[in-house]
Amino acid sequence: MHIVTCLAHDHNMLLVLLAGLVCIFGSLVTVRLSHRAIHARGSAWLHWLFLASVCAGFSIWATHFIAMLGYRPGVSVNFDPTLTIVSALIAIAGTALGLIFAKLHSSKFATLCGGAMIGLAISAMHYVGMFAYRPDGIVSWRPGYVAGSVVGAIMLSSMALLRLRGKDRDTPGRAWDATLLLVGAILLLHFTGMAAFEVTPIEGFSSGSDSQVFTAMAAAIAVAALIIVGTGISTHLVEEGRMETQQRLRQIAMHDMLTGLSNRHNFVTQLARECAALHGTAQPFALLLIDLDRFKAVNDTRGHPVGDLLLKGVAMRLRKAARSNDLIARFGGDEFAILARDVGDDESVERFAAKIVDVLSAPFELNGYIVEIGASVGVTLAPGDSDDAELLIQHADLALYRAKHEGRGRVCVFSPTLTQTMLERCALEIELRQALASDSFTLLYQPIYDARTRRVTGAEALLRWNSPTLGEVPPDIFIPIAEELGLITAIGESVLERACTAAVTWPEDLSVSVNVSPVQIMGGRFVRSVANALARSGLAAHRLKIEITENSLLCENDIVLHTLQELRALGLGVWLDDFGKGYSSLSYLHRFPIDRIKIDRSFIARLPEDPSSASIVRAICQLGESLGIEVAAEGVENLAQVAFVAGHGCTHMQGFLLSDPLEPCTARQIFWAQNQAPTGASYYGIGINTQSP
């Protein structure tokens, strides 16, 4: 009660309120700056320590001095300037010591000790300031209140610093709790200490003090305190803005902007750390590389906005499928990676990878479209396969390549035997580049026959490569690799040039067909390459036929359609090769300018015994007839197949029974021999393979 009485009757309430405002604002800033000083790294903490100590010390001192100017002892009062300055320095130094102690020692006890130092500094500042307070009267003290004020300041300051020292430092509640505790420590110390202070006037001395002067002094001190504290908070805010900018830049640098997942750089960095930790107590982990199946088709047919939505959907599903401690990243394009920590064994990681495949195989609903894709997953384990980040990525990539090669939608776990496959592939890539540089590819020409007249109508150019070290490499091996390496365009241009040059030497009624990769069609310069090849060789455009596969049409986008229309405008024919092997669709025949369908050899090989194959071949022939499209059978290898396809509507045929692929000189001689033969003569069997395969 005495404290309340002293506050209500012996103080100027306006100055008390001003002191309280300075205390609250100063404490709030002090807490923010002290937090930075405690948690800053490197030499920056000294900068924040200085700001926190100055702001804390001056705001504590200003609170004390303004409130003391509002005290009305009933006598005249003077101040000792030296002790007044010393009291301010005590507050600054004591706060600094407490923060240093809490910074250098992370234990809870050390934090309490640091808070106690700040409480003692507040107490010392107050009572030194009181000794600087010189009233014209007899001063007496109440020891109980003095002790209570000191104990209260120490306890509240310790609690404030302990609250501030917590690890979850970003929780707003902690900052306010610490601020209120610090405000309580300062105000409790001051007004309890003032209740302990009593002045008895001396008869004959002047009574009262110049309240106007004291009010002006209090206002000046408050302004000075606010300027100093404001400088501290402005520095804090500027630094906050800089750190937020750095955080945003770090987010951009370390995360994929589309999906919000980690990017490749961040993932590889984390992977390297996990590998380094394997030498300590870290648990084994697995690396999974995920490649989306059929993503390009979705991106091309539905557009990039839908493709972006699909990638976001994939990221969301991966987050749900993965565990909380797994790291997920988008490596780029449609490739993702997962670092699965604390995996048990091969079986458990295979189950996890299979779960990823299942999750991504479910249909996506995107802007009203139902999109179905799939995923292939390559897996490697650490430290069993390696403890090097770069090698682990290579192993997982090799396993992913094997998974895609085996048919997509599969999971493949790395094994040492795949390393040999990788070495062989690397050797193949090197030799493939050398073959392109030295023009080591050759072209053979397999005649194409009219099924009715049995005469040659042209030939298909077949690319062959005989490696000096690897021997004869099949096209289905080196062509996909050439596409992946970006070499197929250059190889394709060379094939076009040589095929046109060879066909110019044939009779004018014969055509040459050239197989074209989807990569060439989508490249943007294919039509120009064809025009250049025709111009340089002098071959008439109608004698050149372009063979494309259904994969080229799978995208159904405007680039493919426009390219084929330009080829038709030049006068070329467009043939659809391997029809029935892939994603056969009648819409291809309706939408794209197709002149001839070539039935895939897998159906012809089972003729005429297999009823299903026979039905399919008959249906394709009837379809071609109704649409006015020629139908050719490829892979004819016996006389029964010849009779069947000729009798059911195939207009053309080719195969080993009819003729092996021929060297350019041999093909030219045979074609001219047919041209000079009497009209109506059958040349079935020209260049015939006399022994059935």
Please report the DSSP string for 521-568 in residue order.
HHTS-HHHHHHHHHHHHT--GGGEEEEE-HHHHHT--HHHHHHHHHHH
pLDDT of residue 690: 37
What are the pLDDT digits (tens) for 361-409? 999 888 777 888 889 999 999 888 888 889 899 899 889 988 887 777 8
Q: For residues 193 and 130, is the Cβ–Cβ distance under 8 A?
A: yes
- Domain locations along the chain: 2-203+211-246, 264-415, 426-674
For the domain with range 426-674, which CATH number is right: 1.10.1740.110, 3.40.50.2000, 3.40.50.2300, 3.20.20.450?
A: 3.20.20.450
Q: For residue 596, what are the β-bridge partners?
A: 575, 630
Model pLDDT, residue 500:
96
Q: What is the average pLDDT across 463-489?
A: 89
Q: Is the pLDDT of residue 606 over 80?
A: yes
pLDDT band at 508 (very low <50, low <70, confident <90, very high): very high
Q: How far apart are CA 5 and CA 19, in angstroms?
A: 18
Give the residue, 662 or 556, on which the prediction is more confident: 662
For 610-639, the pLDDT digits (tens) are 898 899 999 999 988 888 999 999 999 999
Peptide bond just before 608 cis, omega within 30 deg: yes
- What local confidence, expressed as pLDDT, does residue 692 receive? 36
From 86-90, 449-453, 472-476, 532-536, the region with the lowest mean pLDDT: 86-90
For the record, the structure tokens of 656 come out as 């080993």
Show the tokens assigned to 293.
Answer: 């199946």
For residue 215, is pLDDT > 60? yes
**Could you tell me the two tokens for 472?**
């004869």
Q: Are 534 and 570 in contact (CB under 8 A)?
A: yes
Q: Which of 350, 375, 353 is nearest to 362 (CA)?
A: 375
**Two tokens at 488?**
């197929």
pLDDT band for 101, please (50, 70, 90 cuts).
confident
Cα dihedral 561/566/567/573 (nearest 10): 70
User: Which range, of 90-94, 228-232, 589-593, 609-613, averages the lowest pLDDT?
Assistant: 228-232
- State the pLDDT at residue 514: 96
Cα first-last separation, the chain: 115
Residue 310, φ and ψ in degrees, nearest 5: -65, -45
State the burial class of residue 185 (Cβ atoms within 10 Å of its Cβ: 0-12, 13-18, 19+).
buried
Q: Following CA atoms 335, 341, 345, 349 in sequence, which dihedral angle do they give, to the nearest 10 degrees? A: -30
Task: Flag whether pLDDT at 48 surpasses 70.
Answer: yes
392: closest CA among 288, 318, 290, 322? 288
The pLDDT assigned to 504 comes to 96
Instruction: Read off the pLDDT of each residue in 35-41 and give the average, rounded to a whole number.
Output: 76
| Superfamily of segment(s) 264-415 | Reverse transcriptase/Diguanylate cyclase domain (3.30.70.270)
Residue 583 pLDDT greater than 70, yes or no: no
How far apart CA 648 and CA 670 sit, in angstroms, is: 28
Q: What's the mean per-residue pLDDT of the chain?
A: 82
> Which range, 128-142, 369-383, 657-671, is most confident?
657-671
pLDDT of 168 above 50: no
When pLDDT is averaged across residues 47-61 and rounded to a whole number, the result is 80
DSSP string, 85-137: HHHHHHHHHHHHHHHHHHHH--SHHHHHHHHHHHHHHHHHHHHHHHHHEEESE
Q: Is the pLDDT of residue 666 over 80?
A: yes
- Inter-residue long-range contacts of 152-155, CB under 8 Å, 24+ positions, other chains counted: 152/185, 152/188, 152/189, 152/192, 153/119, 153/120, 153/122, 153/123, 153/185, 153/186, 153/188, 153/189, 154/115, 154/116, 154/119, 154/120, 154/123, 155/119, 155/185
Contact 505, 667 (CB under 8 A): no
pLDDT computed for residue 240 by the predictor = 66
Please check the confidence at residue 678 and state whether its pLDDT lies above 80. no
pLDDT above 50: residue 687: no
**Residue 53 near residue 93 (C-beta atoms within 8 A):** yes
Predicted TM-score (pTM) of the model is 0.54
How is residue 439 annotated by DSSP? T
